[in-house]
Amino acid sequence: MPELLFLLLPVAAAYGWFMGRNSLKTKELKGRADIARNLSSGLNFLLTDQEDKAIEQLLELLDVEAATIDTYLALANLFRRKGDWDKAIKIHEKLHQLKLPKVKAQQIQFELAKDYYAAGLFDRAEKLLLPLTENEQLREGALKQLFSIFLSTHEMHKAVALSPAVAQTQSRSLRIALANMQVQQLEQQPDIASLSQLAEDYPQAIRPRFALAKLALAKQDTATAHGAIMSILKQKPQWSADLLPLLSQCQLEPEQWQQLLAQLADKHQNISARLLLTDWLAEHQSLSAAEQYLLQKLQQQPNIRLFQKLLQLRQQQSAMAGEVLESVAGLVNAYLDSKALYSCRSCGFKTRQPYWLCPSCQQWESVEPIAGIDGR
């Protein structure tokens, strides 16, 4: 009998192992069935436009199956794009509570911060974003979101405090934004030294040099103004229409002024430079020479403003021609008065006045003078 019991022990052990394994498999299958049932129920709620119930049903699965996080992130982003920020926040907050790997947890934190920003909860968004500026992968996106917050709350000093983090990125747009915010901080009490330093630190931005030129002219420092304006013209010749009137105040010699205008007119086909060069020719040579120059340039590059200048010259040359051309000139002037002068290269927003910050897409220094047949 003891021998029989001894022989039956392995059989009992094997039976126990088999039954235990079968029990675990049964529980696993039951768990999967529950997940499938809850998921199916959640999808049915979505299909019948019962989104609140759908979210509650689907969020219950997070406690059971965390491997579906990417699906939940996609669902939350869908709600955010639709403007349902409360639903997106609810999903991201639930995901944020899970114990996840650091990379995934920080990505969810970033998405939740964007939800808070979209919902106008700037303080919550800022609290989540500030730690992410230490993350190399998320730093640039977090800084851009923070800058949007500081712009909305008029807290430019907070953006300036993040300049070391900006320096760790390769982002040109962040540097331009930071330069513009610092110029705005100096608007109440601008000084040449501070603006000169900003112009040196942020060569990507033109606003510091623009502000420096205007301040230097106001203080009769024509050398500083000349250097700042020429630096912008070299980088952004399309701004000639706004910069050449300032440059004309820098006490240039007539020949130096003529050479600069000729270079801009020939090398960059700049309309404003050609108009001013026409005036220079009319003053220093003759109306006929100015007219010949205009006719030549109009044949090379048709432009309404050059045509307008030609009408003015013809009116000056003959009183009879002036009477005939007066109505034509009036039509041309009315046409040009209706045209936009600036356009955002990012979103296409058009305006007759310059903006350092595009009112439409909120990009810094993206609104630039328009070129083409109506351009300046």
d(CA 284, CA 254): 9
The residues, ordered by sequence, that sit 6+ positions from 265 with a Cβ below 8 Å of its Cβ are 273, 274, 277, 297
- pLDDT over 80 (residue 30): no
The answer to whether position 315 is within a domain reads yes
- Of 280, 283, 311, 284, the C-alpha closest to 295 is 311
Q: For 265-310, how does the pLDDT look when each residue is reduced to its tens digit (9 = 90+)?
A: 888 888 999 999 999 998 888 888 898 998 998 888 899 888 888 8
Are residue 200 and residue 230 in the same domain, yes or no?
yes
226 with 201, same domain: the answer is: yes
Residue 17 pLDDT greater than 80, yes or no = no
Is 368 domain-assigned?
A: yes
For the segment 131-137, the average pLDDT, to the nearest whole number, is 94
Residue 334 lies in a domain: no
Query: Is 242's pLDDT higher than 70?
Result: yes
Decide if 31 is inside a domain: no
The verdict on residue 106 lying in a domain is no
179 band by pLDDT with thresholds 50, 70 and 90: very high
Determine the pLDDT at residue 226.
95
Calpha distance 69→66 (Å, rounded): 6
Q: Place 322 in a pLDDT band, splitting at 50, 70 and 90.
A: low
User: In total, how many domains does the chain have?
Assistant: 3
Q: Do 295 and 314 share a domain, yes or no?
A: yes
Q: Is residue 188 one of the residues assigned to a domain? A: yes
What is the band of 14 on the pLDDT scale with cuts at 50, 70, 90? very low
pLDDT at 3: 43
One domain, residues 181 and 231: yes
pLDDT value at position 79?
Answer: 83
pTM recorded for the entire structure: 0.77
> Is position 162 within any domain?
no
Q: Domain range for residue 274?
A: 269-328
Residue 279 lies in a domain: yes
